[in-house]
């Protein structure tokens, strides 16, 4: 049984080398050798990491003569972000402030201070 998409994505992201590779790719596309250069490991090992990332849909690869340039595909990250949203209220202090603010509005309707920018990222549950 293949693991669900989210598990596959998270497990791909759980390796620091792979996250580092993604960071590199966020700058721009790169070949396997270019990607391998910073690491003290064989090319084959990096090739494996790329396979994992590709399997998770986090990168795509084209062919350009003998090179296989890798390209960042961030869509699976959006799924992670969506999953996280359900938990945001558990850590986002400013959301508590927002809750307080709304509550205060309802009860006393004072002139509240400005909210911090951080609180604006809450999205509606779907």
Q: Which residues pair with 71 in a beta bridge?
A: 60
Instruction: Round the CA-based radius of gyration of the chain to a whole number and report it.
Output: 21
Return the one option of DNA, its own copies, none that residue 100 interacts with (CB less than 5 to 8 A, by type).
none
Only one residue has tokens 């966020």, namely 26
Q: Which residues pair with 32 in a beta bridge?
A: none
Environment class of residue 77 by beta-carbon count within 10 Å: exposed (0-12), middle (13-18) or buried (19+)?
Answer: middle
Point out which residues bind DNA (CB under 7 A). 11, 14-15, 17, 31-34, 40-45, 47-52, 61, 63, 65-69
Residue 29 neighbours by CB distance under 10 Å = 17
88 binds its own copies per the rule CB under 8 A: yes
15 binds its own copies per the rule CB under 8 A: yes
Nearer to DNA, 28 or 112 (CB): 28
Footprint on this chain of its own copies (rule: CB under 8 A): 3-4, 6-7, 10-11, 13-16, 19, 22-23, 26, 72, 74-75, 77-78, 80-81, 83-84, 86-88, 90-92, 117-118, 120-121, 123
């Amino acid at each position: 049984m293949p693991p669900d998409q989210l598990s596959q994505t998270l497990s791909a992201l759980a390796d620091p080398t792979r996250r580092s590779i993604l960071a590199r790719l966020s700058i721009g596309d790169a070949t396997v050798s270019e990607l391998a250069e910073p690491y003290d490991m064989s090319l084959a090992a990096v090739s494996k990491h790329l396979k994992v990332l590709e399997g998770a849909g986090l990168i795509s690869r084209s062919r350009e003569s003998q090179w296989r340039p890798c390209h960042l595909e961030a869509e699976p990250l959006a799924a992670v972000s969506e999953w996280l949203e359900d938990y945001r209220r558990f850590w986002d202090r400013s959301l508590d402030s927002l809750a307080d603010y709304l509550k205060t509005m309802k009860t006393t309707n004072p002139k509240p201070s400005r909210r911090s920018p951080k609180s604006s990222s809450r999205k509606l549950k779907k």
